Protein backbone atom coordinates (compact mmCIF):
# COMPACT_ATOMS: atom_id res chain seq x y z
CA UNK A 1 0.00 0.00 0.00
CA UNK A 2 1.58 3.21 -1.15
CA UNK A 3 0.87 6.25 1.01
CA UNK A 4 1.68 9.91 1.18
CA UNK A 5 4.53 11.84 2.59
CA UNK A 6 3.52 15.43 2.26
CA UNK A 7 5.97 18.31 1.98
CA UNK A 8 5.75 21.99 2.75
CA UNK A 9 3.64 24.47 0.86
CA UNK A 10 4.43 28.08 0.03
CA UNK A 11 2.44 31.22 -0.49
CA UNK A 12 4.02 33.53 -3.07
CA UNK A 13 2.55 36.91 -4.08
CA UNK A 14 -0.98 35.75 -3.30
CA UNK A 15 -0.72 32.62 -5.46
CA UNK A 16 -1.08 29.34 -3.54
CA UNK A 17 1.62 26.84 -4.43
CA UNK A 18 2.22 23.39 -3.00
CA UNK A 19 4.83 20.68 -3.38
CA UNK A 20 3.50 17.18 -2.62
CA UNK A 21 5.23 13.80 -2.96
CA UNK A 22 4.32 10.18 -2.18
CA UNK A 23 7.10 8.13 -0.63
CA UNK A 24 6.17 5.80 2.22
CA UNK A 25 5.55 2.05 1.77
CA UNK A 26 3.18 0.50 4.30
CA UNK A 27 1.86 -3.01 4.85
CA UNK A 28 -1.18 -2.78 7.14
CA UNK A 29 -3.26 -5.47 8.80
CA UNK A 30 -3.23 -8.67 10.81
CA UNK A 31 -0.52 -11.06 9.65
CA UNK A 32 1.79 -8.57 7.93
CA UNK A 33 4.71 -9.75 10.09
CA UNK A 34 4.93 -12.76 7.79
CA UNK A 35 6.49 -10.36 5.29
CA UNK A 36 9.36 -9.38 7.60
CA UNK A 37 12.07 -11.53 6.00
CA UNK A 38 11.05 -10.45 2.50
CA UNK A 39 11.03 -6.82 3.64
CA UNK A 40 14.63 -7.20 4.86
CA UNK A 41 15.65 -8.72 1.54
CA UNK A 42 14.00 -5.98 -0.50
CA UNK A 43 15.75 -3.36 1.63
CA UNK A 44 19.11 -5.08 1.12
CA UNK A 45 19.52 -5.70 4.85
CA UNK A 46 21.51 -8.87 5.54
CA UNK A 47 22.72 -8.23 9.10
CA UNK A 48 20.08 -6.23 11.00
CA UNK A 49 20.25 -4.77 14.46
CA UNK A 50 16.96 -4.88 16.38
CA UNK A 51 16.18 -1.54 18.06
CA UNK A 52 13.53 -1.73 20.78
CA UNK A 53 13.05 -1.20 24.52
CA UNK A 54 12.77 -3.34 27.64
CA UNK A 55 8.99 -2.89 27.80
CA UNK A 56 8.57 -4.55 24.40
CA UNK A 57 10.66 -7.51 25.56
CA UNK A 58 8.87 -7.88 28.92
CA UNK A 59 5.44 -7.68 27.25
CA UNK A 60 6.30 -10.61 24.99
CA UNK A 61 5.92 -8.54 21.82
CA UNK A 62 9.53 -9.09 20.75
CA UNK A 63 9.02 -12.83 21.05
CA UNK A 64 6.04 -12.65 18.67
CA UNK A 65 8.08 -10.72 16.12
CA UNK A 66 11.21 -12.85 16.55
CA UNK A 67 9.18 -15.88 15.48
CA UNK A 68 9.14 -14.41 11.98
CA UNK A 69 12.92 -13.96 11.83
CA UNK A 70 15.77 -16.35 11.19
CA UNK A 71 18.13 -16.99 14.10
CA UNK A 72 20.84 -14.93 12.40
CA UNK A 73 18.53 -11.96 11.89
CA UNK A 74 17.52 -11.74 15.56
CA UNK A 75 21.01 -12.06 17.03
CA UNK A 76 21.95 -8.36 17.47
CA UNK A 77 19.52 -6.44 19.67
CA UNK A 78 19.58 -3.06 21.42
CA UNK A 79 16.93 -2.75 24.16
CA UNK A 80 18.04 0.32 26.14
CA UNK A 81 15.93 2.92 24.33
CA UNK A 82 14.78 5.51 26.91
CA UNK A 83 11.20 6.88 26.94
CA UNK A 84 12.42 10.04 25.18
CA UNK A 85 15.39 9.00 22.99
CA UNK A 86 18.65 10.74 23.81
CA UNK A 87 21.81 11.52 21.90
CA UNK A 88 23.70 9.36 24.42
CA UNK A 89 21.46 6.36 23.66
CA UNK A 90 21.91 6.92 19.92
CA UNK A 91 25.67 6.85 20.42
CA UNK A 92 25.49 3.63 22.46
CA UNK A 93 23.27 1.92 19.89
CA UNK A 94 25.50 3.12 17.06
CA UNK A 95 28.55 1.65 18.79
CA UNK A 96 26.81 -1.75 18.93
CA UNK A 97 25.67 -1.41 15.31
CA UNK A 98 29.21 -0.73 14.11
CA UNK A 99 30.87 -3.32 16.36
CA UNK A 100 28.55 -6.02 15.00
CA UNK A 101 29.03 -4.82 11.39
CA UNK A 102 25.28 -4.39 10.88
CA UNK A 103 23.93 -3.00 7.62
CA UNK A 104 20.42 -2.01 8.65
CA UNK A 105 17.85 -2.18 11.44
CA UNK A 106 14.44 -3.40 12.48
CA UNK A 107 12.88 -0.75 14.76
CA UNK A 108 10.16 -2.15 17.04
CA UNK A 109 8.02 -0.16 19.44
CA UNK A 110 6.49 3.24 19.86
CA UNK A 111 7.99 6.50 18.69
CA UNK A 112 11.05 6.23 20.92
CA UNK A 113 12.68 3.12 19.38
CA UNK A 114 11.68 4.23 15.88
CA UNK A 115 13.17 7.69 16.41
CA UNK A 116 16.30 6.24 17.99
CA UNK A 117 16.77 4.01 14.93
CA UNK A 118 16.63 7.10 12.73
CA UNK A 119 19.36 8.65 14.87
CA UNK A 120 21.50 5.54 14.41
CA UNK A 121 20.77 5.59 10.66
CA UNK A 122 22.48 8.99 10.56
CA UNK A 123 25.29 8.57 13.06
CA UNK A 124 26.40 5.14 11.74
CA UNK A 125 26.87 6.53 8.23
CA UNK A 126 27.75 10.21 8.70
CA UNK A 127 30.43 12.09 10.59
CA UNK A 128 29.31 13.03 14.12
CA UNK A 129 28.19 14.50 16.36
CA UNK A 130 24.47 13.86 15.91
CA UNK A 131 23.67 17.43 16.95
CA UNK A 132 25.24 18.56 13.67
CA UNK A 133 22.13 17.24 11.90
CA UNK A 134 19.54 18.90 14.17
CA UNK A 135 16.99 21.27 12.66
CA UNK A 136 15.38 21.79 9.27
CA UNK A 137 18.38 23.73 7.96
CA UNK A 138 20.59 20.66 8.44
CA UNK A 139 18.39 18.42 6.28
CA UNK A 140 20.71 18.57 3.22
CA UNK A 141 23.57 17.17 5.33
CA UNK A 142 21.81 13.80 5.60
CA UNK A 143 22.46 11.78 2.45
CA UNK A 144 21.14 8.61 0.85
CA UNK A 145 23.91 6.70 2.68
CA UNK A 146 21.73 6.70 5.83
CA UNK A 147 21.32 3.15 7.12
CA UNK A 148 18.08 1.46 5.98
CA UNK A 149 15.55 0.11 8.44
CA UNK A 150 12.18 -1.59 8.70
CA UNK A 151 9.63 -0.10 11.13
CA UNK A 152 7.21 -2.19 13.20
CA UNK A 153 5.01 0.06 15.39
CA UNK A 154 3.56 -1.42 18.59
CA UNK A 155 1.58 1.67 19.60
CA UNK A 156 -0.96 3.71 17.69
CA UNK A 157 -0.22 7.40 17.66
CA UNK A 158 3.32 8.63 17.10
CA UNK A 159 3.33 8.30 13.31
CA UNK A 160 7.10 7.76 13.34
CA UNK A 161 6.63 4.64 11.22
CA UNK A 162 5.64 6.83 8.27
CA UNK A 163 7.57 10.00 9.15
CA UNK A 164 10.89 11.33 7.95
CA UNK A 165 11.90 12.90 11.26
CA UNK A 166 13.10 11.92 14.74
CA UNK A 167 13.00 13.93 17.95
CA UNK A 168 16.15 13.43 20.00
CA UNK A 169 17.13 14.93 23.37
CA UNK A 170 20.62 16.25 22.70
CA UNK A 171 23.53 16.51 25.11
CA UNK A 172 22.75 20.21 25.68
CA UNK A 173 19.30 19.32 27.04
CA UNK A 174 17.31 20.47 24.02
CA UNK A 175 14.89 18.18 22.21
CA UNK A 176 15.51 18.72 18.50
CA UNK A 177 14.31 17.39 15.18
CA UNK A 178 16.55 15.28 12.95
CA UNK A 179 14.80 15.20 9.58
CA UNK A 180 15.40 13.96 6.04
CA UNK A 181 13.50 11.99 3.40
CA UNK A 182 16.40 9.52 3.66
CA UNK A 183 15.15 8.64 7.17
CA UNK A 184 11.85 7.20 5.99
CA UNK A 185 11.59 3.46 6.79
CA UNK A 186 12.14 1.27 3.75
CA UNK A 187 8.91 -0.45 4.73
CA UNK A 188 6.50 -0.22 7.66
CA UNK A 189 4.78 -3.39 8.84
CA UNK A 190 1.74 -2.25 10.80
CA UNK A 191 -0.19 -5.01 12.57
CA UNK A 192 -2.94 -3.62 14.86
CA UNK A 193 -2.92 -6.87 16.85
CA UNK A 194 0.44 -5.84 18.34
CA UNK A 195 -1.32 -3.00 20.20
CA UNK A 196 -3.86 -5.21 21.99
CA UNK A 197 -1.74 -5.51 25.12
CA UNK A 198 -1.32 -1.77 25.61
CA UNK A 199 -2.54 -0.58 29.05
CA UNK A 200 -5.41 1.96 29.10
CA UNK A 201 -3.21 4.96 29.97
CA UNK A 202 -0.82 4.26 27.09
CA UNK A 203 -3.71 3.63 24.70
CA UNK A 204 -5.21 6.98 25.73
CA UNK A 205 -1.91 8.87 25.53
CA UNK A 206 -0.84 7.53 22.16
CA UNK A 207 -4.37 7.93 20.83
CA UNK A 208 -4.41 11.59 21.82
CA UNK A 209 -1.02 11.95 20.17
CA UNK A 210 -2.59 10.77 16.91
CA UNK A 211 -5.59 13.05 17.41
CA UNK A 212 -3.37 16.06 18.13
CA UNK A 213 -1.24 15.37 15.05
CA UNK A 214 -4.38 15.40 12.92
CA UNK A 215 -5.83 18.53 14.52
CA UNK A 216 -2.63 20.59 14.38
CA UNK A 217 -1.93 19.51 10.80
CA UNK A 218 -5.44 20.47 9.73
CA UNK A 219 -5.06 23.89 11.36
CA UNK A 220 -1.57 24.55 9.96
CA UNK A 221 -1.69 27.52 7.53
CA UNK A 222 0.46 25.79 4.91
CA UNK A 223 -1.31 24.88 1.69
CA UNK A 224 -1.80 21.13 1.34
CA UNK A 225 -5.40 19.98 0.76
CA UNK A 226 -4.47 16.24 0.56
CA UNK A 227 -2.83 16.46 3.97
CA UNK A 228 -5.90 18.21 5.37
CA UNK A 229 -8.17 15.47 3.98
CA UNK A 230 -6.02 12.79 5.62
CA UNK A 231 -5.94 14.76 8.88
CA UNK A 232 -9.75 15.14 8.95
CA UNK A 233 -10.22 11.42 8.40
CA UNK A 234 -7.67 10.56 11.07
CA UNK A 235 -9.17 12.98 13.59
CA UNK A 236 -12.64 11.51 13.01
CA UNK A 237 -11.35 7.93 13.48
CA UNK A 238 -9.53 8.81 16.70
CA UNK A 239 -12.51 10.73 18.09
CA UNK A 240 -14.90 7.86 17.36
CA UNK A 241 -12.79 4.92 18.52
CA UNK A 242 -10.41 6.06 21.26
CA UNK A 243 -12.84 5.56 24.13
CA UNK A 244 -13.63 1.99 23.09
CA UNK A 245 -9.93 1.21 22.62
CA UNK A 246 -9.24 2.49 26.16
CA UNK A 247 -12.17 0.69 27.78
CA UNK A 248 -11.95 -2.56 25.78
CA UNK A 249 -8.28 -3.14 24.92
CA UNK A 250 -8.95 -6.37 23.01
CA UNK A 251 -11.51 -4.89 20.62
CA UNK A 252 -9.90 -5.56 17.24
CA UNK A 253 -11.83 -2.98 15.26
CA UNK A 254 -10.97 -0.23 17.76
CA UNK A 255 -7.30 -1.22 17.58
CA UNK A 256 -7.44 -1.25 13.76
CA UNK A 257 -9.05 2.18 13.62
CA UNK A 258 -6.64 3.74 16.13
CA UNK A 259 -3.55 2.40 14.36
CA UNK A 260 -4.90 3.80 11.10
CA UNK A 261 -5.55 7.16 12.79
CA UNK A 262 -1.95 7.15 14.05
CA UNK A 263 -0.62 6.47 10.56
CA UNK A 264 -2.81 9.20 9.08
CA UNK A 265 -1.52 11.66 11.67
CA UNK A 266 2.05 10.77 10.73
CA UNK A 267 1.38 11.09 7.02
CA UNK A 268 -0.38 14.41 7.41
CA UNK A 269 1.93 16.20 9.84
CA UNK A 270 4.50 16.74 7.13
CA UNK A 271 2.31 19.84 6.56
CA UNK A 272 3.44 21.17 9.91
CA UNK A 273 2.21 21.09 13.50
CA UNK A 274 1.71 23.96 15.94
CA UNK A 275 1.92 25.38 19.45
CA UNK A 276 0.89 22.13 21.18
CA UNK A 277 4.00 20.39 19.90
CA UNK A 278 6.14 23.49 20.31
CA UNK A 279 5.42 23.37 24.05
CA UNK A 280 5.43 19.59 24.45
CA UNK A 281 8.86 19.11 22.87
CA UNK A 282 10.81 21.01 25.58
CA UNK A 283 8.62 19.40 28.24
CA UNK A 284 9.67 16.04 26.83
CA UNK A 285 13.31 17.03 27.25
CA UNK A 286 12.97 17.45 31.04
CA UNK A 287 15.05 15.02 33.06
CA UNK A 288 12.30 15.10 35.69
CA UNK A 289 9.54 14.26 35.45
CA UNK A 290 9.80 11.84 32.52
CA UNK A 291 6.76 12.73 30.47
CA UNK A 292 4.83 10.79 27.85
CA UNK A 293 4.61 12.92 24.71
CA UNK A 294 1.03 12.07 23.75
CA UNK A 295 -0.25 12.61 27.28
CA UNK A 296 1.38 16.05 27.38
CA UNK A 297 -0.20 16.87 24.02
CA UNK A 298 -3.62 15.95 25.39
CA UNK A 299 -3.17 18.26 28.37
CA UNK A 300 -1.97 21.24 26.31
CA UNK A 301 -4.36 20.87 23.34
CA UNK A 302 -7.45 22.63 24.84
CA UNK A 303 -5.48 25.76 25.75
CA UNK A 304 -3.99 26.00 22.26
CA UNK A 305 -7.40 25.43 20.65
CA UNK A 306 -8.74 28.43 22.55
CA UNK A 307 -5.68 30.48 21.58
CA UNK A 308 -6.02 29.71 17.86
CA UNK A 309 -9.81 29.83 17.48
CA UNK A 310 -10.09 33.27 15.90
CA UNK A 311 -7.28 32.58 13.40
CA UNK A 312 -8.41 29.45 11.54
CA UNK A 313 -11.30 30.60 9.37
CA UNK A 314 -13.98 27.91 9.02
CA UNK A 315 -11.77 25.03 10.14
CA UNK A 316 -13.37 24.56 13.57
CA UNK A 317 -16.76 24.31 11.88
CA UNK A 318 -15.37 21.68 9.51
CA UNK A 319 -13.92 19.76 12.45
CA UNK A 320 -17.29 19.81 14.23
CA UNK A 321 -18.90 18.30 11.14
CA UNK A 322 -16.20 15.61 10.78
CA UNK A 323 -16.39 14.68 14.47
CA UNK A 324 -20.20 14.75 14.61
CA UNK A 325 -20.35 17.61 17.10
CA UNK A 326 -23.14 20.22 17.23
CA UNK A 327 -22.21 23.39 15.38
CA UNK A 328 -22.67 25.30 18.65
CA UNK A 329 -20.20 23.06 20.52
CA UNK A 330 -17.13 24.66 22.08
CA UNK A 331 -14.38 22.57 20.51
CA UNK A 332 -11.80 23.11 23.27
CA UNK A 333 -14.35 22.15 25.93
CA UNK A 334 -15.30 19.01 24.01
CA UNK A 335 -11.64 17.95 23.96
CA UNK A 336 -11.40 18.59 27.71
CA UNK A 337 -14.45 16.35 28.23
CA UNK A 338 -12.85 13.62 26.09
CA UNK A 339 -9.69 13.84 28.20
CA UNK A 340 -11.79 13.23 31.32
CA UNK A 341 -13.61 10.28 29.77
CA UNK A 342 -10.37 8.49 28.82
CA UNK A 343 -8.55 9.25 32.07
CA UNK A 344 -6.08 11.87 30.88
CA UNK A 345 -4.57 14.29 33.45
CA UNK A 346 -6.31 17.66 33.52
CA UNK A 347 -3.17 19.77 33.80
CA UNK A 348 0.62 19.61 33.83
CA UNK A 349 0.67 19.93 37.62
CA UNK A 350 -0.91 16.47 37.84
CA UNK A 351 2.11 15.23 35.86
CA UNK A 352 4.42 16.73 38.52
CA UNK A 353 5.67 19.49 36.23
CA UNK A 354 7.08 22.32 38.35
CA UNK A 355 6.44 26.01 37.69
CA UNK A 356 10.19 26.74 37.71
CA UNK A 357 10.63 25.08 34.30
CA UNK A 358 8.60 27.85 32.65
CA UNK A 359 11.60 29.72 31.21
CA UNK A 360 13.09 26.52 29.77
CA UNK A 361 9.79 25.48 28.19
CA UNK A 362 9.04 28.93 26.77
CA UNK A 363 12.52 29.31 25.30
CA UNK A 364 12.29 25.86 23.75
CA UNK A 365 8.83 26.52 22.34
CA UNK A 366 9.84 29.77 20.66
CA UNK A 367 12.76 28.06 18.90
CA UNK A 368 10.84 24.89 18.02
CA UNK A 369 10.15 24.12 14.35
CA UNK A 370 6.43 23.58 15.08
CA UNK A 371 5.97 27.21 16.14
CA UNK A 372 6.40 28.36 12.55
CA UNK A 373 3.27 26.52 11.42
CA UNK A 374 0.91 27.48 14.23
CA UNK A 375 -2.03 29.37 12.69
CA UNK A 376 -1.49 32.27 15.10
CA UNK A 377 1.92 33.85 15.65
CA UNK A 378 3.32 32.87 19.04
CA UNK A 379 5.04 35.53 21.14
CA UNK A 380 6.95 34.99 24.36
CA UNK A 381 4.01 36.41 26.30
CA UNK A 382 1.64 34.02 24.51
CA UNK A 383 3.85 31.01 25.25
CA UNK A 384 3.97 31.94 28.95
CA UNK A 385 0.18 32.28 29.09
CA UNK A 386 -0.30 28.91 27.41
CA UNK A 387 2.16 27.26 29.80
CA UNK A 388 0.37 28.76 32.83
CA UNK A 389 -3.03 27.69 31.50
CA UNK A 390 -1.77 24.15 30.92
CA UNK A 391 -0.31 24.09 34.43
CA UNK A 392 -3.82 24.64 35.80
Tens digits of residue pLDDT in 203-219? 999 999 999 999 999 99
pLDDT of res. 5: 35
The rounded distance, in Å, linking the Cα atoms of 236 and 132 is 39
Torsion of CA 351, 352, 358, 359, to 10 degrees: -110
* CA-based radius of gyration for the chain: 20
Torsion of CA 263, 268, 270, 273, to 10 degrees: -110
What is the fold, at CATH topology level, of the domain defined by 31-194? Rossmann fold (3.40.50)
pLDDT of res. 23: 66
Q: Which residues of the chain have pLDDT under 50?
A: 1-15
In the chain, where are the structural domains located? 31-194, 198-391
For all residues of the chain together, what is the average pLDDT?
92
pLDDT of res. 360: 96
Q: For domain 198-391, which CATH number applies: 1.25.40.10, 1.20.1090.10, 2.60.40.420, 1.10.10.10?
A: 1.20.1090.10
What percentage of the chain has pLDDT greater than the value 70? 94
β partners of residue 27: 189
264 contacts: CB under 8 Å, gap ≥ 6: 210, 214, 230, 231, 233, 234, 237
Buried b (16+ CB within 10 A) or exposed e, 35-62: ebeebbeebebeebbbbbbebbbebebb
Q: Which of 135, 232, 244 is nearest to 180 (CA)?
A: 135
**Cα–Cα–Cα angle for 73, 80, 117, nearest 5°?**
60
pLDDT in tens, 281-291: 999 999 899 99
pLDDT of res. 9: 37
pLDDT of res. 136: 87
Amino acid sequence: MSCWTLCCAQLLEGVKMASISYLTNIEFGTGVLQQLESALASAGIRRPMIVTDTGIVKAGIWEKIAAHLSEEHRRVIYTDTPPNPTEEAVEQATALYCAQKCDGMIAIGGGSPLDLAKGVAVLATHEGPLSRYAGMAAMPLITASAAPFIAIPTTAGTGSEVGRGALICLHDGQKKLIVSPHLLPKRSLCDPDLTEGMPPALTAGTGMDAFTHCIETFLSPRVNPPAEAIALDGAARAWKWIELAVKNPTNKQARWEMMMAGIEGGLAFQKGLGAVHALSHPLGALTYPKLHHGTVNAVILPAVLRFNEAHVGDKYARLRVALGLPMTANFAEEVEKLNVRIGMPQNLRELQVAEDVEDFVVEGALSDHSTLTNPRALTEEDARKLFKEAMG
